[in-house]
Structure 1
């Protein structure tokens, strides 16, 4: 049990929420990690996921991906594969898979940018559930190298204000605002 939870628990132990809503989500995520046998287990009502906003710092743009299931422009990311337990590694793998970018690196470092619990609607294959999403920022130096994972998941480089306008998800708008602050410095 400790092996599955340890990297997440260690990462969350030093993270501080930036607003009251995030405080609630962070507490729920910490409780999940503390009590779950495997916090990554997809069959549970709430489980940990890892995602990232990909940035190109020289142009201060962010990359959004169309998610056909959610019918929304969102960040890249998702579930850990069997044996994966380190959130930043999962975000990096998902970022490479979903964008084709092979040069992704944590930016400006491996720090968490946001912790959010998001509802996920039921599908034909799974019931409604929640993702305790740990979000990071990844950077590329080759923005022109993007390649969508498949035809139903196009990618768009946008300025931060345009990205905020492109999504209706308030939690992602908050993440984008935080990334905009990082890019401005």
Structure 2
């Protein structure tokens, strides 16, 4: 199975949260349309949009999340980024990105009945191909990664800072997407 096939399967199998105002089902269908129209729809070269994978790192024992102050974006975000050729699945891409950017070994993606599953989708504009290139849409497939007990984060070169935040004390430089992802993670973890 190719990464493209896995992405189609993951999105077809995923049930969007029943929040009509969130537009999750519309995004799910848009992502599937994108993949149907673009065999290269997971690669950064696919313009004007491509899928990305991210994971919110959660420490459920301490009711906190790990966020990175992204060097290019200048906001506190979950870990994530572009798919790579070695990623066999979207879930693997999200886990790889979370592990690389957090420095935490042993992360485990929150699973549904059939294994790791997305928890949210988010579309956002980013200039990822360089300063002189146009912005593109990231069609982000978001997961939750559970940190092992005693996990210690280590900052990567992609971050200006990396910190744990209590669920109720997210920094000001977070956007709606991050806040909704944290709320969804709390809902699923309990």
The alignment's TM-score, normalised by the length of structure 2, stands at: 0.87
SS in 2 for 1:98: helix
Aligned with residue 78 of structure 1, among 74, 78, 81? 81
CA distance in 2, matches of 1:34, 1:4: 13
Higher helix share: 1
Kept in 2, the 8 Å contact 1:5–1:85? The answer is: no
- Residue 85 of structure 1: CA displacement? 4.2
1:23-62 equivalent positions in 2, closer than 5 A: 23-44=25-46, 45-62=48-65
CA distance in 2, matches of 1:16, 1:182: 14
Q: Structure 2 unaligned runs (5+)?
A: none
- Residue 178 of structure 1: CA displacement? 0.6
- Residue 73 of structure 1: CA displacement? 0.1
SS in 2 for 1:39: coil
Kept in 2, the 8 Å contact 1:52–1:135? The answer is: yes
CA distance in 1, matches of 2:43, 2:69: 25
Instruction: Name the residue aligned to 2:172.
Output: 166
Instruction: Name the residue aligned to 1:97.
Output: 100
CA distance in 1, matches of 2:6, 2:159: 33
Q: Give the total of aligned pairs.
A: 182
Deviates more, 1:19-28 or 1:74-83: 19-28
Instruction: Name the residue aligned to 2:156.
Output: 149
CA distance in 1, matches of 2:62, 2:75: 24
CA distance in 1, matches of 2:144, 2:173: 18
SS in 1 for 2:8: helix
The alignment's TM-score, normalised by the length of structure 1, stands at: 0.89
Q: Structure 1 unaligned runs (5+)?
A: none
Root mean square deviation of aligned Cα: 2.0
Which segments of structure 1 move beyond 6 Å, counting only runs of 4 or more?
Answer: none
CA distance in 2, matches of 1:166, 1:108: 30
SS in 2 for 1:130: strand
Deviates more, 1:117-126 or 1:40-49: 117-126
SS in 2 for 1:150: coil
